[in-house]
Structure 1
């Protein structure tokens, strides 16, 4: 077979006929001439207008402005390995530059997500729904062009959007929302004891509307704070060494005891609780919770899947504490056993201010007890679980008589 001079060249630096880079004819050119031709061609291509279309809005820019260049080394290698035929050019993308430019050009189309939020209004959990954000899908744009040759780079590219979900979704807050009262307890107090009532009201107000997240622990002392005149507390009767004496903050234990019972009825986990040294009149045996800042505390942990919300109400000699949570159909009741009764003693104190032979009872006596208390939990299916809450010892309260000296 005879080959014409046009079909083959004896010069190895000359590209054979039929050599194309994309739509650029390079056959018959010397290699250096072809390289210059490619550089000039690619420069023109990279300076041509490119239109990005998003929601019917056009953004005009050039491939060069986007950080798109010709990967000359790989392009020439492909061409050298495929002379006499068409080879595709290879693009190089500066992704950092491209992302920055696209972010600036497309900023008006991006919308940040808004997290769902909540507030408690009229003792109800009110949710403001989340709003999803929107952003131009830059990754899809890169996927479309990264394998395209320079000659085949589209003049118009339609961009798509991607939804940006909120970090806090409406559904996640709905799962955390409380839907009613799960524990409620009321104790009575003597409204005529002004200082004790004032302390009780002050403590109740300090914990009113407290919110406890799942997993969090509520500290009574941490919420109420120090009991001082500066923090609003007054002198009232407290028990020291089996005697009722005046002390700052008397009456606060009734708030902690009422809360303890509301928490038990709500089936909360009790982290810390201490009984009184002696029997108190406002609460059943084994169901009290004394506190003493900062040593003795009442701590409750929210092991539920929802927020807890505390409300306190003090009026007409009644203290009521309600705990709101997610209702589960669980019911709680108590059982107790008195192991032992302890008789009180009568203590006589000489009072020089009394007439000889006169006797006045300063403090009435009361028995002490050793008592066991169980909590019986009935779940929504009717299954009962019995748990020993405590074995408490209450010392007797001495009967104290004042006697006039002879």
Structure 2
């Protein structure tokens, strides 16, 4: 857990005060860089090919997922996002709703979105031992979308539909252990 918090704080520092200009595309990996010991990351829990393992940068999917959820709420255009293939959490353990997960794997899976507004938007990030706060700010009004995740139990898993202002945006399947 200590390594995960360390990794989350590294990511949070890079995102804090970040400004995304009009039409600019944000790339998680372009900003964060390779999660290795040289870049200050520690080993933590990762999900790779449906299996739990330890690797550098473990736990940072928690941040990318919260960032993705904020991007949905603020109306950014989602360019690239990957869902986890496995749901390892019980409902009371979730850090974002199932369906808001955005897994990132360096060189393979990125989180990218574009600022569709004609004004810049700035992110603010605070990481503590038990909380991640992520906010978007602008001098102009940002429309906040209503984001819903509809769950449907299917064989060996859960299908989740992501609805933004009642429009179907994504459909994902999560295998249950």
Tell me the residue number matched to 2:116: 303
- Stretch moving more, 235-244 or 327-336: 327-336
Q: TM-score, normalised by structure 1?
A: 0.41
Counterpart Cα distance in 2 of 1:230 and 1:329:
38
5+ long unaligned stretches in structure 1: 1-192, 344-367, 377-385, 398-406
Q: CA deviation at 1:316?
A: 4.0
Of the two structures, which has the highest relative contact order with CA contacts closer than 8 Å and spacing of 6 or more? 2
Structure 2: 5+ residue stretches without partners: none
TM-aligned CA deviation for residue 331 of structure 1: 3.2
Aligned pair in 2 of structure 1 residues 329, 221: CA closer, same or farther (>3 Å)? closer
What is aligned with 1:289? 102
Runs of 4+ in 1 over 4 A off after TM superposition: none
Separation of aligned partners in 2, 1:320 and 1:311: 8
- What secondary structure, in the 3-state scheme, does the structure 1 residue paired with 2:37 have? coil
1:248 aligns with 2:62: no
Are 2:14 and 1:234 aligned?
no
Deviations 1:292-323 (A, max 9, x none): 11111111111101111111101241101111
RMSD over aligned CA atoms reads 1.6
SS for the counterpart of 2:176 is coil
Deviation at 1:270, TM superposition (A): 1.1
TM-score (ref. length: structure 2) = 0.89
Structure 1 or 2, whichever has the larger Rg, is: 1
CA distance in 1, matches of 2:9, 2:2: 10
The match for 1:223 is: 31
1:342 Cα offset (Å): 3.7
Kindly indicate whether the alpha-carbon contact (under 8 Å) linking 2:74 and 2:142 is maintained by their aligned counterparts in 1: no
Following the alignment from structure 1 to structure 2, what is the Cα–Cα distance between the partners of residues 333 and 239? 29
Alignment of 1:209 with 2:22, yes or no, is no
Aligned residues: 172
Rounded Cα–Cα distance in structure 1 between residues aligned with 2:20 and 2:71 = 12
